[in-house]
Structure 1
Amino acid sequence: MYNNYFYLKRSAKELNSLLHNSVVLDIYTQEKNKLNLHIPSGEYPYRYLIISANPQSAYLLLKREHHKARKNTINFLNNLLPAKLLGFEIAARDRIIKITFEKFLLIFTVRGPKTNILFKFDSDKIQSFKKISNPDELITEFAQLDFINPSEPYKLEKTFDDDCELKDIRKTYPNISKDIYENAKILLLTRQNSSLTDAFENTFDKILNGSITIGFDENKKKVKLIPSVFPDAQNLIYNSTAKSFNEALQNYLSLHFRLFNKIELKKEIEKFLSKDLERIASKLNNLKNRIESGSKETEYNKIGGLLLSNRAVLHKGMEQVSLTDYTSGNTLKIKLDPKKSVQSNIDKYFEKSRDERINYRKSIELFDNTQKRYDYLLSVSNKLKSLDDIDELKKIKKELKITASAKMQNDENKHRFRHFLLDGKYHVFVGRDSKENDYLSIKFAKQNDYWFHARGLPGSHVILRLDNPKEPAPKNILKNAASIAAFFSKGKTAGLTPVSYTFAKFVHKKKGMEPGKVLISKEKVLLVKPEIPKNCEQLYE
């Protein structure tokens, strides 16, 4: 209701009494849809009139103190400033405010999507704040408008029957809103006024001169600015009252900003929890199936043993061999890689046996840790439903470490990096193949990210990202990230694996280099055990 005709009229009246004969020194914009007029006074040298041409939030606000930034400024009418402000007027039946200066006119039109600010000077020349397609039509229209002094009382020239409906009234007086109509009907029904016309004029007077209540309507989920005598004013929460419209508008914008931030923060947390719970539920299901299917360590070890004991019948180039399992008497068909040597094929199955033992044990550990994480997030989600305190919401956001930027999330989703979290705060990204390694190291990584790779062995490129790049990474976190790099390399089954690391800014790729190949400088080396550390949570597989 704050930008309906009557409150705009009141705003113009109050501003007229405060700014009449003041001098505007500067007119500029630094923010979309907002125009700033520097109108100092002896008491307030940094006083500004802010005009918002935002269609969803159009207003005039006088601020006692406002400061101009040094950058991103567009100035208006420099050649006509300084200029004395002579007064405010408002169109008799339209949301159009005219501010007269000694050298030009400023016209503020509140018309939904067409809300704009216009400057008129040199007879019929117009300059618009926002682009318009038909300036000549506006000049003609404004010439026909009847502008009045905003201090004049608003009187109805036509009387209405007491049972007259709003739609019929609005044909003559489109400025009469549903709120005004309902309040007038209440005044009539409670016999505070003898006719609907008198009730309307009583309501107009309360809007134009009475105290104003600002608060949040829980039913309609929005901030309201309404006359204190309106019945709804008693039901608003976080409410305050103001004697002037300018003070009321400041309170309204402050409350709206605070509550809007709270609502957006709650939505952000809810979205994060929903996605994370869905992802973790899927992960738990996959881990459960993996554990229930059992370990194939014994099976792979048996195949390796059979190949070793029957080595004499094997030769390079074989794709498959049938051998008798001496423990069961059954014949097993064993797949071989024809490109590998006999020994490499034997080693492959023993390596698969070791990998299976490690992976099965890790799957059990990961299931337990993931289940704990799922239960925790579920408890937070249930708590969030009844939570309304913004400080508590900020605390939850901090606990959940919702810090990843949209770009990082988009890149991660697009390129499907493996994503881990160390100690609940250090992000680790792991490439899956040569192409992803290139993108991760050259495009995705920031200059002060840490880069890891198993030294002298094929493997994934790994990036460690810190929330604060100015702080050095703790030694245990560097070792953890190196262990992950070793785990996703050909050195996975070794007891210890050397891992090179440096800052991402020292990783380069020359034109013509093979996918996954890079050049590094200022290299350091860590000797670590290949593993997924216990303080590590896998966010994306």
Structure 2
Amino acid sequence: MAFDGIVLSRVVEALNKRIATGRISKIYTISQNELLMNVRAHNKNQKLLVSIHPMYARVQLTDLNYPTPDSPNALTMLMRKHMDGAFIADIEQVGLDRILKLTLKGRNDFKDEVTYYAYIEIMGKYSNFILTYENNKIIECLKRVSPSESSRILQPGIIYEYPPLLEKKNPFVDFYTPTDQLVKTYAGFGKDLANEITHRMHLGMMFDTIMNDIKESDKLYIVHHNNKDYYHVLPLTNLSEDYEVYDLFEGLDVFYDKRDQKDRIKQQTNDLSRFIRNEYTKNVNKLKKLEMTLFDSQNSDDLRIKGDLLYASLHLIKKGMKEVTVDNYYDGTKMTIPLDERYDGKTNANRYYNKYQKAKNSLKVLQEQIDLTKEEINYFDRMMTLIENADYYDAMEMKEELENLGYLKKKMSKSIRKKKKHPHYQTLKTKDDVLFYVGKNNIQNDYVTFKKAKKTDYWFHVKDMPGSHVIVHSDNLDEYTIRLAAGVAAYYSKGKDSSSVPVNYTQVKTLKKPGGNKPGLVLLGHYKTIYIDPDSSVLKELEKVEER
């Protein structure tokens, strides 16, 4: 586990420097696994994030903007009742285990000073946030645990006790001996850290020197290895010599941001991504069936021929016959024609004519259905691409779009809709102070292209595949800006994992919006095309101005 006891020890030290004695002013339950607290400390507002996600559990200060519910739920109201206005009197780690204890000083309904404890357990799927009175009687848990689930019960009214703690050595105090197995011997060690320390000692470094480097670290090092990211408070050189270094909490923001967003989108939009994929798959299967039916209809002349031959051979047919073999005067061969034994020859012939006429009449309808189904496939293909790069606000707008188009049942109240002045598009700035407006869904794409952009601005979009509209707020582009804008358009597209992706660009005044179509589509006039290799590093050359 990346967030091991050693990482928590560095987090605790940083929290003590930043928010000890701070006052909690607001609490939000931003998902079923996350609490966000505003803390006023040292004349500065800071945000304390507590996550008990099974995969991403942690506690940290964050600079990210998290979406907060419009109205608090019952759990949030209870937490606010006891913690709002309380001061953080102490922040401590239980040994080197992944348990953080906050001592809070607040006041009850009678304005008497009271003490509360908040225990944050970072233990994978058993992670939890527990608020207790001074006598450790549990007030509430973010995740209740009943007797049927575990012998360790976590419910309101129960006395809180630590989970079973293993007796291990303190690596900052106890010396290393060659027989020591690091994870089993020392408290706070995860597998990643143990592998790194073993690697460094093989290179000749001393155990106490490495531990001293950890103790002095206030950084987070992120390493990309075998298509997976790892982090710790010292570089994991056993995985790679290439790493990115951040301040501790900034690094945690960088590492967990996208991971948390995907989980939050799934929770708060009722698994929108799965709905979009299912609609796409449903229409792909529907298209296959329609095309098979069209093929059969286009080859329906065989039905007419059978009707003609039956009429020419009525003297050979009697009721009760299941088939008849007749001369095929079209090609001079014999043909065996199945019959409905309930009818005579004339009725059987008419049945073949009716089937032929029905197939012939269905050609136009089938082609219309095929065209509509292809439009649906293209639409949900665009939606699948856009949801991959969506944050919470982008996803909520996509959900609203699906509601407006009738794919989903509307649940958002009118009062909430009226609060929105415009979509939450993204604004980026180049080193030359040129602004890029990036649409992250169909609604945003329409807005930045046809409402936000000036006629002389430039529009960028990948050719013949779904992606974001990128507007460059300038009427004069140099090669650097063109390649940068094309890189952004390619990265936020279905071709982000391809190479040499074609990107079209033109001035906004040459674009037209097709009437009666779904949002996000444009008609191009004159345009140019540039080929670009998508790379996430293009975003590092741009400053994020605001997320609207």
* Matched AA of 1:223: D
Distance 2:387 2:71 in 1: 36
**Counterpart for residue 16 of structure 1:** 16
Residues 1:331 and 1:49: Cα distance change in structure 2 (over 3 Å) = closer
**Counterpart for residue 99 of structure 1:** 102
**Counterpart for residue 70 of structure 1:** 71
1:198 aligned residue (175, 185, 208): 208
Contact 2:27 2:36 in 1 (8 A): yes
* Matched AA of 1:50: L
Matches within 5 A, 1:356-367: none
User: Identity across aligned pairs (percent)?
Assistant: 16
Query: Which has the larger displacement, 60-69 or 248-257?
Result: 60-69
**Counterpart for residue 50 of structure 2:** 51
**Counterpart for residue 225 of structure 1:** 231
Contact 2:117 2:136 in 1 (8 A): no
* Matched AA of 1:213: Y
**Counterpart for residue 191 of structure 2:** 178
Residues 1:276 and 1:304: Cα distance change in structure 2 (over 3 Å) = same
Contact 2:272 2:399 in 1 (8 A): no
**Counterpart for residue 490 of structure 2:** none
Deviation per residue, 1:399-421 (Å, 9 max, x gap): xxxx999x99xxxxxxxxxxxxx
SS of 2:11's equivalent in the other structure is helix
Residues 1:356 and 1:320: Cα distance change in structure 2 (over 3 Å) = farther
Contact 1:62 1:246 in 2 (8 A): yes
Moved beyond 6 Å, runs of 4+:
143-146, 258-262, 264-294, 321-333, 342-346, 390-395
**Counterpart for residue 92 of structure 2:** 89
SS of 2:305's equivalent in the other structure is helix
Deviation per residue, 1:361-394 (Å, 9 max, x gap): 789x97xx99xx9xx99xxx9xxxxxxxx77987
C-alpha deviation, 1:287, in angstroms: 7.4
**Counterpart for residue 108 of structure 1:** 120
Residues 1:180 and 1:159: Cα distance change in structure 2 (over 3 Å) = same
Distance 1:25 1:156 in 2: 38
Deviation per residue, 1:82-128 (Å, 9 max, x gap): 21111200011311111111221111112222211112214241234
2:172 aligned residue (129, 152, 155): 155
Distance 1:135 1:327 in 2: 84
2:138 aligned residue (123, 126, 132): 126
Matches within 5 A, 1:8-407: 8-40=8-40, 44=44, 47-63=46-62, 69-72=70-73, 74=75, 75-77=77-79, 78-79=81-82, 81-102=84-105, 103-129=115-141, 130-132=143-145, 133=147, 134-135=152-153, 141-142=161-162, 155-161=172-178, 164=179, 168-191=181-204, 193=205, 195=206, 197-205=207-215, 209-214=217-222, 217-219=224-226, 221-227=227-233, 229-231=235-237, 232=239, 234-235=241-242, 239=244, 241-243=245-247, 245-256=248-259, 295-304=302-311, 335=340, 337=342, 347-355=350-358
Distance 1:333 1:58 in 2: 69
Distance 1:184 1:256 in 2: 27
Distance 2:23 2:399 in 1: 48
* Matched AA of 2:34: K
C-alpha deviation, 1:292, in angstroms: 8.1
Contact 2:6 2:96 in 1 (8 A): no
Distance 1:393 1:28 in 2: 26
Contact 1:27 1:76 in 2 (8 A): no
Distance 2:200 2:16 in 1: 31
SS of 1:93's equivalent in the other structure is coil
SS of 1:242's equivalent in the other structure is strand
**Structure 2 gaps, min length 5:** 106-114, 266-270, 391-397, 411-441, 444-548
CA RMSD in angstroms, aligned pairs only = 5.9
Contact 1:53 1:59 in 2 (8 A): yes
Distance 1:21 1:323 in 2: 98
C-alpha deviation, 1:233, in angstroms: 5.3
Contact 1:181 1:200 in 2 (8 A): no
Contact 2:4 2:98 in 1 (8 A): yes
Deviation per residue, 1:149-175 (Å, 9 max, x gap): xxxx961324312xx35xx33333142
* Matched AA of 1:187: R
SS of 2:40's equivalent in the other structure is coil
SS of 1:49's equivalent in the other structure is strand
Deviation per residue, 1:438-470 (Å, 9 max, x gap): xxxxxx999xxxxxxxxxxxxxxxxxxxx99xx
Query: Which has the larger displacement, 89-98 or 24-33?
Result: 24-33
Residues 1:157 and 1:330: Cα distance change in structure 2 (over 3 Å) = closer
Distance 1:330 1:119 in 2: 85
Contact 1:29 1:73 in 2 (8 A): no
C-alpha deviation, 1:266, in angstroms: 11
Larger Cα-atom Rg: 1
Contact 1:185 1:199 in 2 (8 A): no
Contact 1:184 1:203 in 2 (8 A): no
Distance 2:236 2:194 in 1: 11
* Matched AA of 1:352: K
Contact 1:26 1:37 in 2 (8 A): yes
Residues 1:87 and 1:203: Cα distance change in structure 2 (over 3 Å) = same
C-alpha deviation, 1:198, in angstroms: 2.1
Contact 2:171 2:187 in 1 (8 A): no
Distance 1:295 1:9 in 2: 80
Residues 1:179 and 1:71: Cα distance change in structure 2 (over 3 Å) = closer
C-alpha deviation, 1:72, in angstroms: 3.6
C-alpha deviation, 1:27, in angstroms: 3.8
C-alpha deviation, 1:300, in angstroms: 1.0
Residues 1:258 and 1:53: Cα distance change in structure 2 (over 3 Å) = closer
Distance 2:24 2:165 in 1: 26
* Matched AA of 2:184: K
Contact 2:310 2:348 in 1 (8 A): no
Residues 1:68 and 1:324: Cα distance change in structure 2 (over 3 Å) = closer
* Matched AA of 1:211: K
Contact 2:25 2:37 in 1 (8 A): yes
Deviation per residue, 1:502-534 (Å, 9 max, x gap): xxxxxxxxxxxxxxxxxxxxxxxxxxxxxxxxx
